[in-house]
């Protein structure tokens, strides 16, 4: 199993690091999703590392496997040679493609063997994607199949293994899946939540996370599938997420939308120089909007990636400073769905309490949610019992 070194923390959120055959990963870390075909990638992998300071990436082993030219190149020169990237590479397994298109042409054993053969640093089990809205019986069957596949994968792989945690909207299934994954995986990848991100159902996402997180081993690395929008980084880190994968920087660029920690903006709506990042100082955004489509998409993708990398740095600093709750509260003011997510998280404040520090720096109030933080609720309970002899409040 991977050795995860804890360096700092703020509640469940953690600063840590772990080693891979191609280098060290410091967490929380953003892993840009890169296409295995370089002609489909708007930002080169060399730029991702050199210009944006992102030292690890994630790519699709399934797309690589099913594309003859890519498959041959990966088998010949490894996944790092194919991507022209010498840092840590995580590969997914095709589960999301199976969810999106109804099937994949490869089985769990074959895709794991392929990931082993091409030298991926973190391989992923081909799980069964459980939709948030399915019935309990269907979700349970998906969890059982994923657990069986994970057990077989653990026997077949000596290197780092990511085991997805499924269970849909059912607390009991997510809890069981989390416990089983903790016994098998180096990376525990919370799955089945991409539709919640896409539909801005952050309250449902919070409920899925609070039902999962207490059952994950504290010594494992936690990955949350689909956390690509910088608006959600602080929120996800609050639950102890260590690895974030982002295809949003490119998806939003294709639609002409710019990512910011407060949300997204259509570039065609901009008339002012609203961003002063290094890239936008080179060419102001209103000028980028006038470029030809390919160059315009590339420039927007670069802006989105730089914004995402910068926000991840803000999150790490907040963890070090012990101010992550304040950052989450500020980010939640940007969107009502994110406010609903924070409210749902605070409704289960007892999940956060075991790791909440009793002593912090000066309390900074950002609004009503500040008084519902776990530490405040805990002190309120203690004070009520001391002054009035009241029983503990129901959680």
Residue among 174, 51, 160, 155 nearest 115 (CA): 160
Q: Enter the DSSP assignment of 170.
A: -
Q: Measure the CA angle with vertex 329, ends 223 and 324; round to 5°.
A: 55
Q: How far is Cα 308 from Cα 317, in angstroms, rounded to an integer?
A: 14
Q: 3-state DSSP call for residue 276?
A: coil
The one catalytic residue in 92, 121, 127, 204 is: 92
- What would the two tokens of residue 135 be? 């019935």
Contact 335, 200 (CB under 8 A): yes
204 in active site: no
Task: Return the H-helix or E-strand segment holding 92.
Answer: strand 89-92
Q: How far is Cα 6 from Cα 2, in angstroms, rounded to an integer?
A: 12
Task: Return the H-helix or E-strand segment holding 8.
Answer: strand 5-10
Q: How many residues does the chain have?
A: 395
Indicate which residues carry an active-site annotation: 92
């Amino acid at each position: 199993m991977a050795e995860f070194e804890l360096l700092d923390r703020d509640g469940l959120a953690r600063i840590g690091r772990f080693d891979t055959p191609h280098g060290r990963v410091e967490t929380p870390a953003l892993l840009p999703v890169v296409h295995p075909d370089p002609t489909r990638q708007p930002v080169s992998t060399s730029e991702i590392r050199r210009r944006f300071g992102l030292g690890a990436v994630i790519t699709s082993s399934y797309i690589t496997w099913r594309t003859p030219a890519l498959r041959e190149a990966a088998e010949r020169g490894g996944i790092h040679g194919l991507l022209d990237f010498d840092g840590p590479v995580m590969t997914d397994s095709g589960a999301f493609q199976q969810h999106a298109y109804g099937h994949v042409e490869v089985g769990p054993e074959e895709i794991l063997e392929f990931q082993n053969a091409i030298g991926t640093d973190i391989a992923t089990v081909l799980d069964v994607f459980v939709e948030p809205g399915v019935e309990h019986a269907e979700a349970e069957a998906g969890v059982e199949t994923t657990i069986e596949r994970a057990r077989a994968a653990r026997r077949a792989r000596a290197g780092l293994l990511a085991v997805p945690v499924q269970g849909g909207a059912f607390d009991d299934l997510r809890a069981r899946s989390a416990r089983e994954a903790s016994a098998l995986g180096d990376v525990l990848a919370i799955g089945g939540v991409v539709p919640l991100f896409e539909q801005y159902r952050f309250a449902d996402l919070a409920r899925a996370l609070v039902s999962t997180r207490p059952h994950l081993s504290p010594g494992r690395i936690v990955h949350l599938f689909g956390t690509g929008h910088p608006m959600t980084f602080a929120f996800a880190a609050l639950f102890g997420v260590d690895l974030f994968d982002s295809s949003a920087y490119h998806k939003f660029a294709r639609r002409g939308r710019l990512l910011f920690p407060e949300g997204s903006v259509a570039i065609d709506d901009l008339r002012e120089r609203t961003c002063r990042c290094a890239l936008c100082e080179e060419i102001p955004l209103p000028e980028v909007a006038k470029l030809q489509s390919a160059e315009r998409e590339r420039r927007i993708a670069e802006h989105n990636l730089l914004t995402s990398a910068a926000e991840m740095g803000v999150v790490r600093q907040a963890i070090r400073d012990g101010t992550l709750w304040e950052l989450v509260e500020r980010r939640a003011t940007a969107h009502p769905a994110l406010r609903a997510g924070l409210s749902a998280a605070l409704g289960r404040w007892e999940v956060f309490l075991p790791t909440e520090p009793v002593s912090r720096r000066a309390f900074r109030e950002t609004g009503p949610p500040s008084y519902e933080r776990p530490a405040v609720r805990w002190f309120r309970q203690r004070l009520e019992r001391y002054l009035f002899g009241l029983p503990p409040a129901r959680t």
